[in-house]
Amino acid sequence: MAAGPDAARRAVEHVARVSYARLISYLCARSRDLPGAEDALGDAFAAALRTWPRDGVPGKPEAWLLHAARRRLIDRARLDQTRAANTAALTQLLAEAEDLSTVRAFPDERLKLLFVCAHPAIDARVHTPLMLQVVLGLEAADIAAAFVTPASTMGQRLTRAKAKIRDAGIAFEVPSGAELAPRLFAVLEAIYAAYGFGWDDVAGADDKRRGLTEEALWLARTLVELMPEEPEALGLLALFCYCQARRSQRRRADGSYVPMSEQDSTRWDGSLLAEGDHWLREAAGHQTLGRFQLEAAVQSAHVERLRGGSVSWDEIVVLYDGLIAVAPTLGARLGKIAAVAEARGPAAAFSLLDGLPAEDVQQHQPYWAVRAHLLQALGDARASEADVALQRALDLTDDPALHAFLESRRQRRA
Amino acid sequence: MKYAMLIYEPESQFNARREQPGESPFWAPWRAYHKALLEAGVYAGGSPLDRPDTTATTLRVRGGDRHVQDGPYADTKEQLGGIMLFEVASLDEALRWAAQCPAAHYGTVEVRPVADLNHIFGPEHGHGS
């Protein structure tokens, strides 16, 4: 009991990191008042920071926090007459939280909360930020920075979404039947977007965004833990494992950029790669192919080829074709074009590239980099076009390492 | 919670409602829908509107003056054609019922929570439906 102030503070931080999502999910699955639950849990953590150093860390820290948060919620509900309907739900909460002092575990409602955050009645732009804030407890200002959105705009969107969840009476439930597939896809997309924002910060210059890949990986793991039979959830987790395994190798020690094909594959994280293989096999066992499994399969093939496996470029092209059939994103189409260049030469690849709609590619940095690369491969006759494309690729990046890498390509040709 | 479903539909529906005899197949999906709502105990009132926007009259009172205008409040291609109230546990349940409404399949329906004003008007309020 006689934990020093430091030990007590560490205990609070530990519970916050490990149990925040479960605590907030439990509270709002019952009260359906997400902003209220967040405030109440925030107050409970503040109270813990005040009292644990004095009184010692309680035997069941989570139960203690829930108890404190629940009292806050009920006090507030009594003041707020307009939500009289919530009182019944809160009475239930009261009774259940009372039991928590005797019961070891409290119900895990995280899955319900994930589905609420990506609910179709909520503005799709806010699905990912909402998940990061509500499930992971990230600060609104940090989320705004990661999504390159003004903090006030992001704050308003989050506040509006949380008020809608409460006021429109969105159910805290895992959808079933025909509703499940589209709803699950929205959850997966939101987690995928969170990973993408973290991944794009290649330089790791931005602390907020670097953390996002870890957080997204954690969300994907949680989802698989809660829905172990969903092939697309397994596919998403496999995809993240493959990406995360080689994440740190995208830069040399001096900070310079290394394209995937030039990375030292022996320095990739072998256990994460093995884990990716494991989840992809699990997913394949269900024999229901989908976008995220195909994305993972493409990554798996790239990794396998670079580690000396017997994967051909033609096979990689086929995987991209499958992916494009279900998710024709610009990224997937450029990936295919790069693979076609390897399998059938730059001329075949360039004619595919030229078929991409001009309005989609205008501001897309990777398009101009691939274009420059193909034009250079096509020889001197296309050299001036290659220079134009390379300049455009340079203009569209503010990452100094990528800038330097592209410059070196220009010099290599000169 | 109580939810209102506002039904927006093309003008042709208003005409059909007046012209189609009771035994016509036009009414079959509406009868089935109404029956399902009643049997589930979620129906809390409602009514279609009689004629399209051409019969709508808009009124505002400002500074003691009545401003009466011809036409609906919002001029849209699909018009407000009716309203239904559901008593259900959540938005999701309300949306499930809304998706079964025949009008959701040719028009658009908007689902909104109804304000709970029992603390103002007393518990009898809202039992009028």
pLDDT above 90 for B95: yes
Which of A273, A292, A183 minimizes the C-alpha distance to A234?
A292
In the stretch 77-116 of chain B, residues with CB closer than 8 A to chain A read 89-95, 112-113, 116
Mean pLDDT of B41-67: 86
Q: Would you call B118 an interface residue with chain A, using a CB distance cutoff of 8 Å?
A: yes
B44: helix, strand or coil: strand
Q: What is the largest CA-CA distance in chain A?
A: 79
Cα(A100)–Cα(A378) distance, rounded to whole angstroms? 70
Q: Would you call B119 an interface residue with chain A, using a CB distance cutoff of 8 Å?
A: yes
- Which positions ≥6 away from A157 have C-beta within 8 Å? A123, A125, A126, A129
- Looking at A294-298, A322-326, B5-9, B64-68, which range is the least confident one? B64-68
Candidates B5, B91, B117, B119, partner chain A, best to mutate (most A CBs within 10 A): B91
Identify which of B90, B116, B118 has the shortest CB distance to residue A170: B90
Q: Which residues of B touch A29 (CB under 8 A)?
A: none
- Give the minimum alpha-carbon distance from B121 to chain A in angstroms, rounded to a whole number: 12
Q: Which residues of A touch B92 (CB under 8 A)?
A: 170-171, 173, 175
- Give the minimum alpha-carbon distance from A85 to chain B in angstroms, rounded to a whole number: 8
Query: What is the pLDDT of chain B when averaged over all its residues?
Result: 88
Q: How confident is the model at residue B61 (pLDDT cuts 50, 70, 90)?
A: confident
Q: Would you call B129 an interface residue with chain A, using a CB distance cutoff of 8 Å?
A: no
pTM score of the predicted model: 0.84
Candidates A82, A92, A176, partner chain B, best to mutate (most B CBs within 10 A): A82
User: Buried b / exposed e across A295-322, counting CB within 10 Å, b at 16+?
Assistant: bbbbbbbbbbbbeeeebebeebbbbbeb
Q: Give me the average pLDDT of each 10-residue run along chain A (414 residues).
A: 75 89 90 90 95 92 92 81 58 64 70 93 93 87 86 94 92 90 92 86 62 88 93 98 92 87 92 97 95 96 90 95 95 96 95 93 93 93 93 90 87 58
Please give the residue of chain B at the shortest CA–CA distance from A167: B113
Please give the residue of chain A at the shortest CA–CA distance from B111: A168
Candidates A34, A179, A180, A183, partner chain B, best to mutate (most B CBs within 10 A): A179
Identify which of A81, A82, A171 has the shortest CB distance to residue B90: A171
CA angle A87–A92–A95, rounded 5-degree value: 125
Cα(A110)–Cα(A115) distance, rounded to whole angstroms? 9
Identify which of B3, B91, B119 has the shortest CB distance to residue A171: B91
Task: Look at the block and give the residue holding tokens 């024709």.
Answer: A328
Looking at A85-206, list the stretches that DSSP marks H as alpha helix, in order from N- to C-terminal side.
Answer: 86-100, 110-117, 127-134, 140-146, 151-167, 180-200
- Is B92–A171 a contact, with Cβ atoms under 8 angstroms apart? yes
- Is B92–A168 a contact, with Cβ atoms under 8 angstroms apart? no
Top pLDDT among A245 and B77 is at A245
Give one DSSP letter per residue of A6-75, joined into a string.
HHHHHHHHHHHHHHHHHHHHHHHHHH--HHHHHHHHHHHHHHHHHHHHHH---SSHHHHHHHHHHHHHHH
Please give the residue of chain B at the shortest CA–CA distance from A165: B91
- Is A82–B92 a contact, with Cβ atoms under 8 angstroms apart? no
User: What is the per-residue pLDDT for B97?
Assistant: 95
Q: Which residues of A touch B1 (CB under 8 A)?
A: 85, 169
Mean pLDDT of B2-22: 91
Cα(A387)–Cα(A407) distance, rounded to whole angstroms? 11
Identify which of B3, B92, B116 has the shortest CB distance to residue A173: B92
Numbered residues of chain A with Cβ closer than 8 Å to any chain B Cβ:
81-82, 84-85, 121, 167-171, 173, 175
Please give the residue of chain A at the shortest CA–CA distance from B114: A168
- Give the minimum alpha-carbon distance from A169 to chain B in angstroms, rounded to a whole number: 5
- Give the minimum alpha-carbon distance from B93 to chain A in angstroms, rounded to a whole number: 8
Please give the residue of chain A at the shortest CA–CA distance from B123: A84
- Report the first-to-last Cα separation within chain B, whole angstroms: 15
CA-CA-CA-CA dihedral for A120, A121, A122, A128, to nearest 10: -20
User: What is the per-residue pLDDT for A243?
Assistant: 95
User: What is the per-residue pLDDT for B129?
Assistant: 42
Please give the residue of chain B at the shortest CA–CA distance from A32: B90
Q: Which residues of A touch B90 (CB under 8 A)?
A: 169-171, 173
User: What is the per-residue pLDDT for B125?
Assistant: 61
pLDDT in tens, A98-120: 666 555 567 788 889 999 999 99
Cα(A79)–Cα(A82) distance, rounded to whole angstroms? 9
pLDDT above 70 for B5: yes
Q: How many CB pairs under 8 A join A and B?
A: 32
B86: helix, strand or coil: strand
Q: How confident is the model at residue B128 (pLDDT cuts 50, 70, 90)?
A: very low
